[in-house]
């Protein structure tokens, strides 16, 4: 998930077995991101590999945006982080 975007809560009704399985992941603080990733994959409508690849690209963009060094260095008024994010986003399938 990219930083800077607002997260909006959304309620979903789950069967008890799905709820319990999801709750076990919540102990590792992975439940929300797992549900977000699954919904994003479903809405993108592509192949699971492509969806996973695109999620990896989003994760890399997030890391670059958080990197203090990449945000501190600029060339001709352009931050290195912004330049890298632009290049990385072009890899999205």
Residue 7: inside a domain: no
pLDDT averaged over consecutive 10-residue blocks of the chain (93 residues)?
Answer: 72 90 80 84 82 90 95 94 95 85
Q: Are residue 41 and residue 56 in the same domain, yes or no?
A: no
| Both tokens assigned to 12 | 């979903």
Q: Are residue 55 and residue 74 in the same domain, yes or no?
A: yes
Q: Which pLDDT value is given to residue 4?
A: 59
- Which domain does 56 fall in, by range? 47-93
Dist CA 14 CA 21 (whole Å): 11
Q: Are residue 61 and residue 91 in the same domain, yes or no?
A: yes
Q: Are residue 31 and residue 17 in the same domain, yes or no?
A: yes
Q: Are residue 21 and residue 39 in the same domain, yes or no?
A: yes
Q: Are residue 86 and residue 58 in the same domain, yes or no?
A: yes
């Amino acid at each position: 998930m990219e930083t800077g975007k607002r997260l909006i809560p959304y309620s979903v009704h789950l069967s008890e077995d799905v709820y319990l399985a999801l709750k076990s992941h919540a102990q590792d603080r992975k439940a929300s991101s797992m549900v977000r990733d699954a919904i994003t994959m479903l809405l993108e409508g592509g192949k699971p590999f492509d969806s996973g690849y695109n999620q990896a690209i989003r994760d890399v963009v997030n890391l670059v945006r958080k990197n203090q060094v990449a945000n501190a260095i600029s060339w001709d008024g352009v931050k290195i982080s912004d330049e890298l994010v632009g290049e990385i986003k072009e890899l999205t399938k």
